[in-house]
Amino acid sequence: MRLSSRITGRIAFGLIWASGGVAVLALLFIIGYVVVRGLPEINLEFLFTLPRGGLGGEGGISSCIVSTLWIIVVTMVLLTPLGLGAAVYLSEYAPDTRLVGFIRYGVELLAGVPSIVFGLFGYAVFVTVLSFRFSILSGALTLVCLLMPYLTRTAEEAMRSVPREQREAALALGATKWQMVARVVIPAAMPGILTGIILCIGRTVSESAPLFVTMGGSSQMPDGLMSSGRTLAVHVFYLAMETNALEKALATGTVLVVLILLTNLFTNWISERLQVRMMGVS
Amino acid sequence: MDPKIRTTNVDFFYGSVQALKQVTLDIREHHITALIGPSGCGKSTYLRSLNRMNETIAGTRLVGEVLLDGEDIYSDGVDVVELRKRVGMVFQQPNPFPKTIYENVIFGPRVLGETNKERLDYLAERSLKAAGLWEEVKDQLSKSGLALSGGQQQRLCIARALSVEPEVILMDEPCSALDPLSTLKIEELMQELKKEYTIVIVTHNMQQAARASEWTGFFLMGELIEYGETSELFSRPQEKKTEDYITGRFG
């Protein structure tokens, strides 16, 4: 028996609709579970006191919030210029040779390496050989290694998709290659570059394993680049594995989710404003 | 009168493919010269050799002589930036930058080092007026150039090319993406602009060449088949191939 095209169309529509629905439901369930169980634990005291440890996971998460902010700032300050520099080189200046093809392939490959492998590398190099010890600096440098391939690839994609016509327009007006890159290509690629940067912040916030082995896990308030620290994600891991305070872990998870949500909203806001300014659409 | 641009025996290669063969052509100052021919005939390649834009494509090579006011633009001492300031270009697709109208117009002066705000304002206003766009956009200079209509975008690109005060303007099928009314506006504009500039236009549209230009060159398979006054070339072509093309037998 052959089904009429109308019926196959309906079946396909139903299946597509169902998969979309499952994805949304799963997301709502996970977030809902974490937030519903975690939210009652959150109050000002929880946010503003140090973790005290112990089997009950006593105390709050103040130092974890501060550590998380530290690691975001240090990682992004180091990562952004390196990643963008590599992207500019690969997209605008790199000759089409085997070596460059190999570099590009290497970047792709690195982007797929599990993060704990970067953690071990960071432990071996930054913590041990370079004697940065368990510190925010070691953790941030490890994350830079982890995220640089990703940022480079995203930013390179964004720059390569700037149309040839706009590049030629700049050159035809007497711009040098660098002026073309700095004044036309990078601004035009900015929405894509920003998206990459935001996603990197998201990963910085959510990584736990590579930081656990490079930042240590001190619950003390960090007082500088060289002090050990514990980010929110590491704290969730610690609470879940070492204590029986699941509620506290979920509460910390809730704070994490909110932090990521805020970051995303902020980025959307910025890239929409950029879009309006550049394209004249709203 | 000496020509503004004189090209002698120009050969051009994309890798091993020869795109221009022995093109010899003089372009008169303050005139409009149209280059016509079927797709792939080399007319755009020729146009882009006049401001060395072909160099931005890897693996290209030019042999022969291109003189601007008697000086070879391909000789060693020539500064490409200076050349492109003198020989401006308008492209097939309107290609404003994703910036404001004002920033689009003054992009050229900016990269050439102009920082004086008053001078930049003056250049922006003068260029937009010369491109016939000032009245339409003077109250919205901080709007994005991409928010304009296609025809307005193309006139913005013309204003952008004018802002560096060039001597020659190269137009590579500037109306092929525009509606008839916008096309007409650009053609009227060209008649105004030729008083101050020398214009070379590549066009697919023979009516446009016949209407708007004084000199016409017909290209075919990389060769310049015929070159002469537009009225002559369209009414009494000397070459059989030209006649076949303009009467629509191929192309």
Residue B95 belongs to what domain range? 5-246
Q: How many CB atoms are closer than 10 A to CB A117?
A: 13
When mean pLDDT is compared across A221-225, B69-73, B150-154, B219-223, the lowest value belongs to: A221-225
This model of the complex carries an ipTM of: 0.88
Beta-carbon separation of A173 and B111 below 8 A: yes
Residue B251 in domain: no
Angle value at C-alpha A269, between A267 and A274, nearest 5 degrees = 95
Q: Which of A167, A176, A188 sits opposite B98 (nearest CB)?
A: A188
Q: How many CB atoms are closer than 10 A to CB A218?
A: 16
User: Residue A282 above 70 pLDDT?
Assistant: no
pLDDT-derived band at A279 (thresholds 50, 70, 90) equals: low
Residue B149 in domain: yes
Residue B48 in domain: yes
Beta-carbon separation of A279 and B161 below 8 A: no
Residue B207 in domain: yes
pTM of the model: 0.81
Q: What is the dihedral of CA B177, B181, B183, B187, to 10 degrees?
A: -170
Residue where the block lists tokens 């204003």: B159
Q: Two tokens at A99?
A: 């070596």
Mean pLDDT computed over B106-128: 92
Q: Is A39's Cβ below 8 Å from some Cβ in B?
A: no
Do residues B162 and B131 lie in contact, with contact meaning Cβ atoms separated by under 8 Å?
yes
Mean pLDDT computed over B233-246: 88
**CATH number for the domain harbouring residue B144:** 3.40.50.300
Q: Is B60's Cβ below 8 Å from some Cβ in A?
A: no
Residue B133 in domain: yes
Number of domains in chain B: 1
Which A-chain residues 87-116 have CB contacts (< 8 A) with chain B? Answer: 96
Look at B56 and A74; give whichever has higher pLDDT.
A74
Q: In angstroms, how far apart are the furthest CA atoms of chain B?
A: 56
Q: Two tokens at B241?
A: 């191939």
pLDDT value at residue B167: 93
Residue where the block lists tokens 């004249």: A280
Give the closest-approach CA distance of B225 to chain A in angstroms: 28
Beta-carbon separation of A278 and B146 below 8 A: yes
Summarize pLDDT for B51-66 with one digit per residue, the tens. Answer: 999 988 888 999 999 9
Q: Is B91's Cβ below 8 Å from some Cβ in A?
A: yes
Q: What's at A18, amino acid-wise?
A: A
Residues of B in contact with A279 (CB under 8 A): 98, 144, 146-147
Nearest CA in chain A to B160: A173
User: Residue A280 above 60 pLDDT?
Assistant: no
Beta-carbon separation of B51 and A167 below 8 A: no
Residue B109 in domain: yes
Do residues B106 and B163 lie in contact, with contact meaning Cβ atoms separated by under 8 Å?
yes
pLDDT-derived band at A144 (thresholds 50, 70, 90) equals: very high
pLDDT-derived band at A247 (thresholds 50, 70, 90) equals: confident
Summarize pLDDT for B123-172 with one digit per residue, the tens. Answer: 999 999 888 889 899 899 988 888 898 889 999 999 999 999 999 999 99
Pick from B248, B237, B238: nearest CA to B204: B248
Domains of chain A by start residue, with CATH = 65-231 (1.10.3720.10)
Pick from A74, A116, A57, A114: nearest CA to A253: A57
Residue where the block lists tokens 């805020």: A262
